[in-house]
Amino acid sequence: MIWLVLIGVAAGVLGGLLGVGGGMLFVPGLVIVVGLTQHEAEATSLLAIVPVALVGALSQNRYGNVRRDDAMLMGVLSIAGVAGGVALANALSGAVLRDAFAALILLIAAQLVRKALRADVPGTAKSPDRGDPREQHVP
């Protein structure tokens, strides 16, 4: 039980801080620390992320950071996607599912590293010191 509390708190803090999906933290924690199967961890994560996403979105909305139209479009389209994804997940073995999840995490990590390295090269991605171009004001 203490592990579930720690995983939940860690996922909440990191989700609020970095905007990462709780599933990226819940699933490995539930598999590695709690001992759930990959299928159980992914299904449990889907339910656990509902209150996290709701509180996070409401909190970010107070800062004016939520793009409602984009969120609604992604949310509605995700409904069909998740139904298909659940069916596919249950057709795959736990090992295949685990490996696919690990590959996804590695792909995301590689993309983040690539973007971070490009951010320091003038004329490529926005540099951290320049901020979001939408927030820049011309005097």
Q: What is the mean pLDDT of residues 112-137?
A: 66
CB 21 within 8 A of CB 49: yes
pTM for this model (two decimals): 0.69
d(CA 130, CA 126): 6
User: What amino acid occupies position 119?
Assistant: A
pLDDT in tens, 44-72: 998 988 888 888 889 999 999 999 999 99
Q: What is the pLDDT of residue 51?
A: 86
Contact 119, 125 (CB under 8 A): yes
- Please answer whether residues 37 and 96 qualify as being in contact, where contact means their C-beta atoms are separated by less than 8 angstroms: no
Other CB atoms within 10 A of residue 111 CB? 10
CB distance 119 to 130 below 8 Å = no
How confident is the model over 18-39, as pLDDT tens digits?
776 667 888 998 999 999 999 9
Mean pLDDT of the chain: 84
What's the pLDDT at 139? 44
DSSP structure class, residue 127: P
For residue 85, the model assigns a pLDDT of: 92
Query: What is the Cα–Cα distance from 52 to 119, expressed in whole angstroms?
Result: 30
Average pLDDT over residues 75-102: 93
